[in-house]
Amino acid sequence: MYMGARSDNRGYLQIEANAIPQEFGLVGVRHKSTILDSDSIQQPKTPLDFAEAGSRQEYEIVGGIDLNGDKQLKNNEICTNFSPRVLVITQADYIVSYGILNAYKWI
């Protein structure tokens, strides 16, 4: 999945997930082995706001159980990886790509 960052080049997601019991479920965004943002599952959607999105960086949506009760997802607490992964592009890259596609849309 491709996602364009806003002008501040941060990634924003709304994750729709369920966990039973809900108070132990966490969702997060991970880049390589670093979890950039995580939060307890909220209904209907959990908002995530993660670190500056470098151009064409791939992020992974992960879910897990809060084993130590600190409300932060750790790598050892991850139970599942959601697909597809998210490829974030900066707003500048989006605008350039949009312009190129728009210019050739009649071909």
Q: What is the pLDDT of residues 42-97, one digit of tens each?
A: 888 989 988 776 667 889 999 999 898 898 999 999 999 988 788 887 777 878 88
Is pTM beyond 0.85? Reply is no
Check: CB of residue 62 under 8 Å from CB of residue 27.
Answer: yes
Rama region for 9: left / alpha / beta (φ>0; ψ in -120 to 50; rest): left
> Can you read off the two tokens belonging to residue 29?
């965004």
pLDDT of residue 35: 93
Q: Which residue has the higher pLDDT, 93 or 22?
A: 93
